[in-house]
Amino acid sequence: MKEILITDPAEMIREFNSLPNHYIFRGQANADWHLTSSLERVVGSAWCASAARKYEELSLARFQGRFHLYDRENIEPDSKLAWLAIMQHYGVPTRILDFTESPFVALYFALETYRASSGKDLAVYAIDWTAAMKKSVEFIQGADATFKYTLADIYDNQDHIFDNYINPRAYDIIWITEPRKHNQRLDKQAGSFVISGNRDRKIEDILASPLYNGVDVTKFVLNHDLHAHIFALLMKVNLTGKVLYGDLHGLATSIRMEMDARSSAAWV
């Protein structure tokens, strides 16, 4: 994984704008954190395929069993991928890692839980979606003669492919996807999911495997002094919690982030 240290706001914008549109991004409030799914964090050092499956199946069964009691959108998920997506949406630990098609939305999420007083650097990860998925599709084509999909076919068949080829198997690949039926929040955030095809291996380990040699995976480390500059940039382009969530949670988050930015000596 390539690492680039950013110390200047203009340099940050140049770096992000230089990347083609087929990249996906993830922002994190601490540059020391790895690319780790919420389920990986819950299971911790005991992570293995059986533990991941046990935790996921238990959570899924409980969520599905009670979903009808709390659902207000009246859209029941119709695939395993859709169930995992809505669980992720509401904060249930899953093996999904949230990414977005926008580096600036990723910046927002790097700031959302950030505290200026921590003095920690932030990070935005960038993955070449096209190159990574080309490798993954070619791997499955070589492993399963019944897999007839090409990279161009993926978008319209994402739920079927995940439910029938990715989820049941243990391929040493990463899979980048989103359910056919987006919830409103995922759509607003231009969201996408990264998943390890093999529950026994973590996302970051798969990305570092020889299969993905030559695929651009870049970690942009953003100096902590950029915190207030980033907030000011996001305000100028109207990327706030109010916009990305569209509810009271988003409003409250926007206010909290503004207060944190104003408390910084670097407020601009």
Q: Which two tokens stand for residue 177?
A: 């996807």
pLDDT tens digits for range 104-150: 999 999 988 888 888 999 999 999 999 999 999 999 999 999 999 99
String of b and e for 50-76 (b: at least 16 CB within 10 Å)? ebbeebbeebbeebeeeeeeeeeeeee
- Domain positions in the chain are 2-262
Per DSSP, the three-state class of 174 is strand
pLDDT tens digits for range 26-67: 999 999 999 999 999 988 888 888 998 999 999 999 999 988
Whether 262 shows a pLDDT value over 80: the answer reads no
Q: Provide the residue type at 264 as one letter.
A: S
Q: Phi then psi for 174, rounded to 5 degrees?
A: -100, 150
> 46 exposed, middle or buried (CB, 10 Å; 0-12, 13-18, 19+)?
exposed
